[in-house]
Amino acid sequence: MNTFSLQKIVFAALCLAVFFMFPNSDVAVAQDGKIVYIDSYRIRQEYKEFQDAQEQFNKEIDEWNKEGLELQNEVDSLQAELDKKRLILSPGKLQEREEEIETKKAALQKFTNDVFGPNGKAEQRNDQLTKPLLDKITAVLEKIAIENNYAYIFDAVNGNIAYARKTLDITDNVLEELDNIQ
């Protein structure tokens, strides 16, 4: 057994020992309902504004994909035409057509990078559409946490929760609050 695994086991045993030694202390805050969780996947699926934003984003992605496909078809068409006429073109015309194809390929590559590359239009647009919604969700989580004296609100989707009682899931409360502020 490696050292890291041993450390994890010792840490877990210590946590359990502390939890059982002090069941009425703040360590046992989960029993008082002070620790709750949400299912952010459900929020994204059921929150109307998120659905609308996703639909808008998908439409824009489809348009960009269509534009990219048109550019790719243009390159393919020029290449196919050149391949058919390669033997009858003069060296000057052949070079001219090859340069035209390379220019179109470069334009396609630039378009792809500008739209779908890191910090491209798609990423920026996704941020524009989701940031206000995430800010709203964060505000609702903060409001619910303060009103109900929750110490922590975890997200079950990110994998940090191995088990939690269903009664600690406040996703429905968050969705209800989000619906109320629309």
pTM above 0.75, yes or no: no
The residue whose two tokens read 């620790």 is: 35
- At residue 169, the pLDDT reads 83
In the predicted model, residues of the chain with pLDDT beneath 50 are 1-31
pLDDT in tens, 77-100: 999 999 999 999 999 999 999 999
List the one residue out of 137, 132, 129, 121 whose CA is nearest residue 57.
129
What's the Cα-to-Cα distance from 159 to each of 5, 37, 39, 143, 153, rounded to whole Å?
Answer: 19, 12, 11, 24, 14
The length of the chain in residues reads: 182
Domain segments of the chain as ranges: 1-25, 54-125
